[in-house]
A = this chain, B = another copy of it.
Amino acid sequence: MAWSLDSDRPVYVQLAERLKLQIVSGYYSCGDRLPSVRELAAAAAVNPNTMQRAFAELERSGLVVTLRTSGRVVTEDRALVEELRHDMAKLQVKTFVDRMAEIGCSRDEVLELLREVLEQESANL
């Protein structure tokens, strides 16, 4: 997963989304200490202020908590993380189902294609 940034949406929103993704996907686990704003900003080639703003978003949602003196960590609230993960997943699924319906795929066809692709992916591991 690279730091790919569109120029048409606010950068801080994109950064926040990516960090959120890294948390719900388990790349950063509950209780993990996160890299410093400066480090992440450098890695993403953005201004530290922008990265800071991204973190502000994550704190509002409770995914990340700031420890006065020792940086930021992922929340210990596993249920919250899991809930967000589930919400994101469900949104993706709904969007997917709608698109397949637009293309004119039946319920069975969707499942059939999905199984095909999943097996290919498995085979590639």
A interface: dominant SS:
helix
Per-residue interface assignment for chain A, residues 85 to 122, with 1 indicating a CB less than 8 Å from any chain B CB and 0 otherwise:
10011101110110111111101011101101110011
Judge if A25 is at the interface, Cβ distance under 8 Å: yes
**By the criterion CB–CB under 8 Å, are B93 and A107 in contact?**
no
Please state the number of chain copies in the assembly.
4
**By the criterion CB–CB under 8 Å, are B24 and A104 in contact?**
yes
**By the criterion CB–CB under 8 Å, are A25 and B103 in contact?**
yes
Contacts of A123 on B, CB cut-off 8 Å? none
A-B contact pairs, 12 of them (CB 8 A): A8-B8, A25-B103, A88-B103, A90-B116, A92-B100, A93-B110, A94-B117, A96-B96, A96-B114, A97-B114, A97-B117, A111-B111
